[in-house]
Amino acid sequence: MKRVLTGIKPTGYAHIGNYFGMIKPAIEMSHNKDYECFYFIADYHALTTLKNREEMKEYFFNIACTWLACGLDPEKVVFYRQSDIKEDFELNWILCNVTPKGLMNRAHAYKAIVEKNEELGVDKDDGVNMGLYNYPILMAADILLFDSDYVPVGLDQKQHIEIARDIAHNFNVKYGKCLKEPMEKIDDDNKTLIGLDGRKMSKSYNNTIPLFSTEEALKKAIFRVVTDSRLPGEAKDKDCTVNKLFKLFSTKEEAQKFEKDLLNGLGWGEAKKQLFEVANRYLSPMREKFNYFMAHKDEVEKILKEGAIKAQLVAEKVLKRVRIAIGTED
């Protein structure tokens, strides 16, 4: 049995790009008998972005409800909150001592800020705190603490997993084989989801369709999908955004018919109406579950506490092995 682990940073509300790109594949993996899944909410990683108590509480709880609403089954997945696992932060410190500073200098997120600062002509470390700089080491601790085999992530996180593997390797060279060297798992089919304007769906482009909004807001978002100026009766391009989005929510037969109708001149207004209908049909039951969990905070917290207890059983064992390796425990 292979152990699969991934973290979700609570820094915003999930959109359908997050759902199809990451949440759905991760939940599908948890139904595979060959995998034992550990999914957690990386609240301490979110500290690099979130700057106040209310935001932290809001996003943390929202993302927990999102995963449960999307079908995460706490019987199948060890689902927990990063900050509940104190062992993680002890391992983080230990790993700092086998991590060359140069490795952190090369991390994409840090490098991007340095490059921007250089362009602006300000100090290269302007606006960089140690949480951001050490981010990859804490992430390595998250992963290595659980002897993870696979880490399903988006392409943007690939380097972080490579860094975790390097850190594990450095540790093993220094102290003897102790930490498992993990592999990233990148889902090729879902690499990028198209946004309202035809670019990649991303919060930074403001072109997302929210996963859990009211029906009205969903309809509004869908009617904002950018189309060309072809009139009803004119054939539409089958690679258009409306068609791509439709496929995500519909059956194969519906998708074939929709595409044919577009080629036969279905008007954009009618096409969007049909897109809204399939999207809403798909999302409604999830939205109901989401609203249920949002209204049952105690239940969600209980699930996460039980998850933390299960996670800690593993974390304690691995940390003990590490402490023995470095000589702080017999």
* Contacting residues toward ligand TRP, per CB under 6 A: 6-7, 9, 42, 45, 139, 142-143, 151, 153, 157, 160
Nearer to ligand TRP, 139 or 194 (CB): 139
Give me the least distance between CB of 11 and ligand TRP, in Å please: 8
Give me the least distance between CB of 186 and ligand TRP, in Å please: 12
Residue 162 DSSP class: H
Give me the least distance between CB of 146 and ligand TRP, in Å please: 10
Distance between CA atoms of residues 229 and 212, nearest Å: 30
Query: Which residue blocks in the chain are alpha helix, DSSP H?
Result: 16-18, 24-29, 53-69, 86-96, 101-105, 108-120, 130-144, 158-175, 215-223, 241-249, 252-263, 268-294, 297-326
Nearer to ligand TRP, 85 or 279 (CB): 85
Give me the least distance between CB of 237 and ligand TRP, in Å please: 33
| Nearest position to ligand TRP, beta carbon | 7
Give me the least distance between CB of 173 and ligand TRP, in Å please: 23
Token pair recorded at residue 42: 């990386």
Burial of 135 (0-12, 13-18, 19+ CB in 10 A): buried
Nearer to ligand TRP, 143 or 201 (CB): 143
Give the residue carrying structure tokens 């983080």.
92
Distance between CA atoms of residues 68 and 63, nearest Å: 9
Nearer to ligand TRP, 138 or 240 (CB): 138
Residue 200's SS3 state is strand
